[in-house]
Amino acid sequence: MATALALGPADRRADLALCLGLAVAFAVWIQAAYGGRISADLASLYIAARLVDAGQWADVYWQGTGGASAGWLAEAQAAGETVRAHTFLYPPLWPQALAPVAAALSPERFAALFLGLNTAAHLGSALLAWRLFDRPGPLWPWIATAAGMVPLTVIGGSAFFYNQPQPLLGVAILAGLWLAVTDRPHRAALLFALAASVKIYPVLFAAIFVLRGQWAALATAAAAGAALLAASLAAGGLDANLAYAALLAELQGKISVAMNNLGLPGVLAHLQALLTGEALPRANFVPGRGWIRAADLAVLAAGVALLALAGRGQPPAWWRQGAVPALFLLVSLAVPLAWTHYFTPALCLLPGLYVLLPARRATLVAAAVLVPHSTAFFAGIAKPAASAGIYPLAGFPALALLGVVFALAARRRQRPTAPE
């Protein structure tokens, strides 16, 4: 396959023009399709930032079972927020950082700002995926795939419907993995630490440093994480940080069985219910189960160990095209809260199947991944079903399959062929 560097000057200019046109059209469509409103998820960040701007830290963190604080409800009403309140689950650093922005913008403009940032991040993931696969030909098919995945899949659609900063985290994680496997681990460590200061789970991607023996990068990540923790303490003080920690501790004793959670603990709970005839409630959380936590940790540890064995003696291309997709999916699927919108970077990697596999096999794998995650399957079959487990039980193995295929196909591609 010809690389982008093998394209002639005219072809490269045409590719750039087409990519820019696709990006602009996609950005306009995103604002038209998802703009003019603020989601409940993003509203929690907006309200918290406005409360911090007013000096009302005591109203920011509240237990979900106890209901929103009076100050929170008053700010929500003043902002015209009509959707149900969400417990705020970001560290104090971020409402402090966003306080002047939220104070200056209406809810709709705040949402439009994040739509723009998330659009750029999503397209950035497509660009990174293209780079991971050695720029195989023009870029525009990768941009088109990323754009098409939004209306066609619940993964892409939910990312912009909820409009959390998750696409920003996704591109940061993918960039960190790319930097780590291209021998720039200290920059990767900084990105992982920054991502983990928003949501804790990206700290697990530091496993790439263990796989590659980049021990100094672990120290860099720890130092950067400590600095960001100090910044969070300085921003919100001890009380706000302790309140945030208490909310996280409360979640540790629960398992999410929401239908849009693809994390292994929830999938195991749905599988147990299917096998035993248990009727799980259509609720976000149920009490935790010890065996599920143990199984989840075992799967994560085994997956990292298998990648370590598979990576022995492998060339750089395997690390980019096999290890990065596999580790991204392994960690993302193993965390307790693995909402659909966590997986947009995985969809951006799909064109890489056509680099590693014959076109027919690549299409079969892509179809196996996309069908259970399609908007049609989710809305027409999974959502109306009596059980909330239909989608997680179909979607989880599809993404797990994708990670395994990338790891194995990239490894086989690196094997020297026997002389004829």
pLDDT (tens digit per residue) in 279-325: 887 777 888 888 999 999 999 999 999 999 999 999 999 999 999 99
Task: Place 1 in a pLDDT band, splitting at 50, 70 and 90.
Answer: very low
| pLDDT value at residue 416 | 47
| pLDDT value at residue 291 | 94
Amino acid at 395: G
Mean pLDDT of 205-222: 98
Task: Place 85 in a pLDDT band, splitting at 50, 70 and 90.
Answer: low
Please, which residues have CB within 8 angstroms of residue 209's CB and are 6 or more apart in sequence?
180, 185, 188, 189, 215, 217, 218, 221
Q: pTM for the complete prediction?
A: 0.94
DSSP letters, 172-204, are: HHHHHHHHHHTT-HHHHHHHHHHHHTTSSGGGG
pLDDT (tens digit per residue) in 220-274: 999 999 999 999 999 999 999 999 999 898 888 899 999 999 999 999 999 999 9
Per-residue CA distances from 181 to 5, 102, 136, 215, 356 (Å): 21, 37, 18, 14, 18
Please, which residues have CB within 8 angstroms of residue 60's CB and are 6 or more apart in sequence?
48, 51, 52, 72, 88, 92, 95, 236, 240, 243
| pLDDT value at residue 386 | 84
Q: Where are the domains of the chain?
A: 4-34+106-411, 38-105
The tokens for 230 are: 């100090």
- 3-state SS of 355-402 is HHCCHHHHHHHHHHHHHHHEHHHHHHHHCCCCCCCHHHHHHHHHHHHH
Alpha carbon of residue 167 to chain centroid: 6
pLDDT (tens digit per residue) in 346-376: 999 999 999 999 999 999 999 999 999 999 9
Q: What is d(CA 266, CA 102) in angstroms, rounded to the nearest whole number?
A: 34
pLDDT (tens digit per residue) in 155-172: 999 999 999 999 999 999
pLDDT (tens digit per residue) in 328-339: 999 999 999 999
User: Collapsing DSSP states into helix, strand and coil, what is residue 286?
Assistant: strand
Please, which residues have CB within 8 angstroms of residue 47's CB and are 6 or more apart in sequence?
72, 75, 76, 79, 81, 88
Q: Is 229 exposed, middle or buried (0-12, 13-18, 19+ CB in 10 A)?
A: middle
Mean pLDDT of 69-89: 75
